[in-house]
Amino acid sequence: MNSYEVIIFDWDGTLMNSVPKIVSSVRDAVRTLGWQTLSDIEIREVIGLGLPEAFAQLFPQAGVAEREQLRAYYAEHFSQQNQTPSPLFEGVEPVLAQLKKQNYQLAVATGKSRRGLDRVWQEVDIAHYFMTSRCADESRSKPHPQMILEILDELKLLPNQAVVVGDTEFDMEMAQRAGVDRIGVSYGAHAKERLLKYLPVACLDHISELMPLLNNRSIPL
């Protein structure tokens, strides 16, 4: 295992158990517009992308203005109306605290908007663990590597000094295209088999397995 300087986390489905809320909020927004209902699987397929890219994939026949209306309804449902719990995964904060104690720099690269990330950071009060972050509305959406490259540039680090931790193939492809190692987590939006295609150094079943892995103890794929 390499000695990394920065660990770049995805947010939804990796640190926060928000996939059920995302799925139900998309469904509510689609219902508000009177569009055809989507299955949970169809919605989970696009989690990790920026909202414009996700909705373009789900509704290629819709125009830009229609998809922007869908985005606005989604944001309203997610932030104000949808009551589905979205807590941090068990063990996340102790892991972040231990990583900081061991002098790792921490960052977030997320498909959320900046407004959305700032809101959930305020709710769960863990923003202080992170040196920097990039969101899909201020950079290129995953799987483009721009978010990772911008974080590395800001922290003055090389690709071999970083590792990305994420739950979707978009996270894995983004890291691979940036020349950065990647660690999958099997408990999020995409199945483990999809993550393994991108040759992660490990695939974790629980976030608590990250510390043993970084301390050079093997975690199976």
Which residue, chain included where needed, has tokens 């990583």?
99
220 by Cβ neighbours in 10 Å (0-12 / 13-18 / 19+) ranks as exposed
Active site residues: 10, 12
SS3 call for 47: strand
SS3 call for 111: coil
37 by Cβ neighbours in 10 Å (0-12 / 13-18 / 19+) ranks as exposed
- CA dist 132 and 109 (Å) reads 9
Residue 204 contacts residue 210 (beta carbons within 8 Å)? yes
- CA dist 104 and 102 (Å) reads 6
Other beta carbons within 10 angstroms of residue 150's beta carbon come to: 18
